[in-house]
Amino acid sequence: MRAMDYTFISYSRQDHTFVDKLVADLQQAGIRVWRDTEQIQAGAQWQREIEDALENAVALLYVSSK
């Protein structure tokens, strides 16, 4: 995903069920979302991909676990 308007979602894997629903709701509302499991391709340098995505995001949504 290039420098288009999107929200970067940061979360713990233990919260994936909640985040799955959140992402679906945001996308249904027309909000583009960047999520590691969907945007990072196999074999990619994941740390660099995440850094680039954070730099280009218009918003950061941080999901905090208990």
Let me know: does 56 contact 2? Beta carbons within 8 Å: yes
Cut 0.85: pTM above it: no
HSE-CB for 57 with a 13 A CA cutoff: 19
Q: Is the pLDDT of residue 62 over 90?
A: yes
pLDDT in tens, 18-38: 999 999 999 999 999 999 888
Q: Where are the domains of the chain?
A: 7-62
**Nearest one of 47, 46, 31, 36 to 9, comparing CA atoms:** 36
- Of 48, 55, 27, 59, the C-alpha closest to 19 is 27
Mean pLDDT of the chain: 90
pLDDT confidence band for 1 (50 / 70 / 90): very low
